[in-house]
Chains A and B, each alone.
Chain A
Amino acid sequence: MSLLSHVDDKLSDSGFATKVVEGEPPHMLFESANLVGVVLEFESVAELVETWEARLNRIIGQHRFAFKRSGPKAWNSYAILITADVADDDLKPVLTAIEEDLTGTRKIVRSGCRSDHDLIVALLPLLPIQNSPEIPVIDFADEVQIRLPEMPDDVFRAFFTDASDGIVLQVLEES
């Protein structure tokens, strides 16, 4: 299964319309209510660095009429350039430079996309917020009582109420 297929799955699951285009170069289109984009897969980091611009321009040329129709949506066009190959330290800044070049499209450039997690991290700017914390409701009195099994129950009954400090102390002394 190619990387494009995995990307297709991820974006589809996130509500994007997707379409794999079998052409030269092969690529995948995706679209949502406020953005459009293209995904390109590369064999290696070196290939990505050398060919991304030509390939991307060719694809944009293929879809130039659609871009023209998109009006302001074209401002939100994305190019996702990915490879399973891992970039060495020398090429990482080059990939960053491609990504920071905002000419034409917003570019997401990721190397080392080998796992599901790698893909999610790569596509994060397009995906909904992944983590929605559900903070457990914790009863503080229970938490304290669990940690003090030797403490008489009366102490907790006095402490976790509005009883005065003096009464709590009396219970601590007597129980």
Chain B
Amino acid sequence: MIRLAFVELCGFRGYSRRVRVDFASGFTVIDGRNGVGKSSLFDAVEFALLGTLEKYGNQTAAGESASDYIWWRGKGTPPSDRYVEVGFEIDDKIVSLRRTMLEPPDELQLKSVVDQLLDVGRAPESGLRQLCSTSIIRDEKIAELSLDLKEADRFRLLRDALGASDADRWIKRASDVLGLARKRLAVAENDVQQAVIGLNLSTQRVDQAKQLIRDDRAIQDARDGLLQYLGGNVPTHELVTAVQTRILADQAWVDVLASILDGWDTTDADRTKISETEASLAAAAERAADAEKKVRELDDLLSTEPAAAEVRSRADTFGTLLAVGREIGLQDGECPLCGKEQTDLEFQVGIASNERRVAKLDDTAVKKAKLEQDRQAAAVTLQAASELRQRLTIAREASLRRISELDAKLQALDLKPDVARSVIEARHLEFKEAVDRAKRFLAVVDTRSVDATLRNSLAGHDDAQKRRAHAEEKLAFARQAEQRAKLLHDTCRRASGEMLERQLEVVMPLMSELYQRLRPHPVWDEIAYKLRGDVQKFLTLQVGDELNPQFIYSSGQRRATGLAFLLAVNLSLTWNRWSTLMLDDPVQHIDDYRSIHLAEVLSKFVASGRQIICAAEDSALADMVARHLLAREGVPGKRITLGVGEDGALSVLRDEVVEPLPRNIFIDSDHLKQAQ
């Protein structure tokens, strides 16, 4: 068994300077007032092993957590170092774990200690954490982890203590497999659903293909109809081809007749209008000839004289000069225009004569302009007549072409151009009905395409059936797997519960015994621990007539009951190799009478080889506990008092070995057997 040898701490919690506490191998009872660092010794052991302090959980306040207060942060001279070091006695050797503010313990050393503390093969995954929570029993955890615990959590605590949590791993695995099986089952069910839909569709296609298949009488009727359509006997094997050829030909005639009917009204109008168009064309040609002749005549007239604009320009220039000359008048007997010496009369006569010439010139310009306008008008007339003639020519040619084309179509049909429209319509209907009828007969007679469709449908149906069968097979597998996975999962859970029940049957007497020893209640001196629940398990505590002590016990009684449970759990840890049991102020709120009960229980623990480290606030209470614990030769006990030293720092004020008590007081050595 492994024991706790010492705790050394510096700069940890409230300890500013180095303090070392060596524990006795039998028991150590520590006392000290509030705040002198008793709990910090317990903290140090847990912190060295886990690196955390579980008792604070995840508590935070103002952005800070317990982890911010692990290392000393008081006023005054800071500590020279910050660390905790915990020594374990393993096979008469001391192995220490040192955790500083910056560095965890040596990994190999931690592993070697943990391997000694736990039976690693049987311990649950969180074994070290559980060991700390059940071996380091703290004041604040006694009630929380015992009587006040929810029944399901109490069950889990006990289950983990018994090392049965291996089942959890398999239950989780079974749960994962079941989840996977359910997903695969859902996929398989969907596949079957899709396959059934596909099969239904293929069945519909087969039914449709089968509907196309007629009976023999219908086929014979269709064959006769086709022969009648062809107008003669044709070998059976050539019938379809011959009919298809004939249909193509007749369909062409149907198209021709349709085109005749389409253009019938237009052509009819063409025939009516053609003579009118030709008359209009002749008139337009005559108008064009007249206009052309007039243009030529005017061109002749206009080509002999200057253009009207030029004449008008001359008249204007000459007139302007005359006006200027008249305005100026004779200048020293000379004409201002020509410089010729003249008399005033000659000058006036000359001006007047020239003004007449200007007027004549102007008249000529006016006549000239009129001719030019006439010529322009004749040219416009000529152009309009030409354009009209051109349009009429095109229209006449189009009409003639349509008439010609229609006549050609009629001629091809052996019809005269004056055939009535009703004849064409009757012929068109006759051809069209014959072609349609032939197509229907052909569809009946030509079973080859029907066969192909049916064959394809049947093949598709076969595929769909195979797909469905395959999907059903996969579904059956998936369903079987899901059922088996569920069975496996349920069985794992059931086996876990039943295994625990069997184990609990073994542990239950110890729990009852510890309760009887601590005697929380004067009347209800027995307690029953009951497991209930099938899937989720609960551990129920009952006293008297199935009463729940959680709701009727006083604070001290609850703590005593809780202690009985926790001590039983600790003793039941099948994978525990750590003989040390640390109790931090376990007698708080417990009266002196029941404190003696606890001291008696602890004395039995010490007598059975367990190491007890117990802290109490009251020194008299600590003395009482120490007296009950058994100091023996080679297995000493210790009394330690913590307090504030002369330098103001937390210190060990008292460190005394508890001597074995005197023997043979009442009974001489002959009667005294080897005492416990």
Mark each residue of chain B from 508 to 542: 1 if its CB lies under 8 Å from any CB of chain A, else 0: 01100100110000110100000000000000000
Q: Are A151 and B484 in contact (CB under 8 A)?
A: yes
Across-interface contacts of B491 in A (CB, < 8 A): 144, 147-148
Q: Which of B499, B522, B632, B667 contacts A140 (CB 8 A)?
A: B499
Q: Which of A76, A128, A134 contacts B604 (CB 8 A)?
A: A128
Q: Which of A34, A99, A155 contacts B488 (CB 8 A)?
A: A155
Residues A33 and B676 in contact, CB atoms below 8 Å apart: yes
| Bound Cα distance A99, B525 (Å) | 14
| Contact of A172 with B676 in the complex, beta carbons under 8 Å | no
Interchain CB contact under 8 A, A125 and B597: yes
Q: Which residues, 23 to 75 on A, are CB-close (under 8 Å) to B?
A: 29-36, 63, 66-67, 69-73, 75
Partner of B506, one of A106, A121, A136, A168: A136
Instruction: Report yes or no: A136 in contact with B627, Cβ–Cβ below 8 A.
Output: no
- Is the pair A34, B661 in contact by a Cβ cutoff of 8 Å? yes
Question: Residue A131 at the B interface, CB < 8 A?
Answer: yes
Which A residues touch B661, using CB under 8 A?
33-34, 70-73, 76
Q: Is A157 an interface residue (CB 8 A)?
A: no
**Known contacts A144-B491, A173-B478; is A165 also within 8 Å of B177 by CB?**
yes
A interface residues, how many (CB within 8 angstroms): 65
* B485 CB-CB contact with A under 8 Å: yes
Q: Out of A14, A18, A30, A169, name the residue touching B485 (CB < 8 Å).
A: A169
Q: How far is the CA of A106 from the CA of B675 in the complex (A)?
A: 20
Quick one: CB contact mask for B569-606 with A, threshold 8 Å, 1 for yes? 00110100000000000000000110011001001110
- Asked whether A138 and B502 contact (CB < 8 A) given A15-B674, A69-B662, A144-B488, the answer is yes
A96 touches B522 (CB 8 A): yes
Q: Which residues of B contact A130 (CB under 8 A)?
A: 509, 513
Q: Does B122 contact A (CB under 8 A)?
A: yes
| B162 part of interface (Cβ distance < 8 Å) | yes
**Does B667 contact A19, Cβ atoms closer than 8 Å?**
yes
A174 within 8 A of B: yes
Q: Quick one: which of A66, A125, A151 contacts B517, CB cutoff 8 A? A: A125
Alpha-carbon gap, A160 to B628, bound state (A): 50
Judge whether A1 is part of the interface by a CB distance below 8 angstroms: no
Q: How far is the CA of A70 from the CA of B664 in the complex (A)?
A: 9
Q: Does A86 contact B (CB under 8 A)?
A: no
Q: How far is the CA of A71 from the CA of B663 in the complex (A)?
A: 11
User: Would you give the shortest CB distance from A129 to chain B, in whole angstroms?
Assistant: 5
Would you call B174 and A159 a contact (CB within 8 A)?
A: yes
- Beta-carbon contact of B665 and A143 below 8 Å: no
Chain A residues with Cβ below 8 Å from B217 are none
Q: Mark A149-165, 1 if CB is under 8 A from B, else 0.
A: 00100010001100001
Q: Which of B163-171, B321-329, B368-376, B396-404 contacts A (4 or more CB under 8 A)?
A: B163-171
CB-based nearest A residue for B522: A96
> Are B507 and A133 interface neighbours, CB within 8 A?
yes
Q: Are B665 and A66 in contact (CB under 8 A)?
A: yes
B671 on the interface (CB 8 Å rule)? Answer: yes
How many angstroms between the C-alpha atoms of A30 and B484 in the bound complex? 64
Q: Is A17 within 8 A of B667, CB to CB?
A: yes
Q: Mark B138-162, 1 if CB is under 8 A from A, else 0.
A: 0000000000000000000000001
Identify A128's interface contact among B488, B608, B631, CB under 8 A: B608
Select B667's contact among A31, A141, A155, beta carbons within 8 Å.
Answer: A31
Provide the bound-state CA to CA distance between A109 and B600, in Å: 16
Our pick among B523, B662, B673 for the contact of A17 (Cβ within 8 Å) is B673
Q: Would you give the shortest CB distance from B482 to chain A, in whole angstroms?
A: 8
Complex Cα distance, B530 from A108, in Å, reads 29
Which residue of chain A lies nearest to B572 when distances are taken between CB atoms in the complex?
A133
- A131 contact set on B, CB distance < 8 A: 509-510, 513
Distance in angstroms from A138 CB to nearest chain B CB is: 5
Task: Count chain B CB atoms within 10 A of each CB in A135, A147, A155 and give the residue with the most.
Answer: A135
Complex-state Cα separation, A165 to B517, whole angstroms: 49
Out of A67, A70, A136, A151, name the residue touching B503 (CB < 8 Å): A136
Closest chain B residue, CB of each to CB of A101 = B593
Nearest Cβ in chain B — how far from A46, in angstroms?
19
B387 CB–A CB distance under 8 Å: no
Within 8 A of B (CB), among A83-111: 92-93, 96, 99-100, 102, 106
Whether B180 contacts A169 by the Cβ 8 Å rule is yes
Pick from B507, B513, B667: contact of A29, CB under 8 Å: B667
Contact partners of B525 in chain A: CB under 8 A: 121
Min Cβ gap A117→B in Å is 11
B207: interface (CB < 8 Å): no
Cβ of B69 under 8 Å from chain A: no
Contact B516 A124 (CB under 8 A): yes
Task: Contact check, A70 vs B592: say whether CB atoms are below 8 A apart.
Answer: no
**A31 pairs with B674, CB closer than 8 A:** no
**For the complex, is B624 an interface residue (Cβ under 8 Å from A)?**
yes
A5 at the A/B interface (Cβ < 8 Å)?
A: no
Known: A73-B661, A169-B180. A19 touches B507 (CB 8 A): no
A132 lies within 8 A of chain B by Cβ: yes
Nearest chain B CB to A126's CB is how many angstroms away? Answer: 8
User: Which residues of chain B in 610-652 are interfacial with respect to chain A, using CB atoms and an 8 Å cutoff?
Assistant: 624, 627-632
Knowing that A75-B624, A135-B574, A140-B167 are A-B contacts, what are 8 other residue pairs whose CB atoms are under 8 Å apart, sorted by A's residue number? A15-B674, A31-B675, A73-B662, A102-B593, A125-B600, A136-B502, A143-B495, A148-B487
Residue numbers of B with Cβ under 8 A of A are: 122, 162-164, 166-167, 170, 173-174, 176-177, 180-181, 184, 477-478, 480-481, 484-485, 487-488, 491-492, 494-496, 498-499, 502-503, 506-507, 509-510, 513, 516-517, 522-523, 525, 571-572, 574, 592-593, 596-597, 600, 603-605, 607-608, 624, 627-632, 660-667, 671-676
Question: A residues bordering B, Cβ < 8 Å?
Answer: 12, 14-19, 29-36, 63, 66-67, 69-73, 75-76, 92-93, 96, 99-100, 102, 106, 121, 124-138, 140-141, 143-144, 147-148, 151, 155, 159-160, 165-166, 168-169, 172-174
List the 5 shortest-distance A-B pairs measured between CB atoms, nearest first: A17-B672, A172-B481, A131-B510, A32-B675, A33-B675
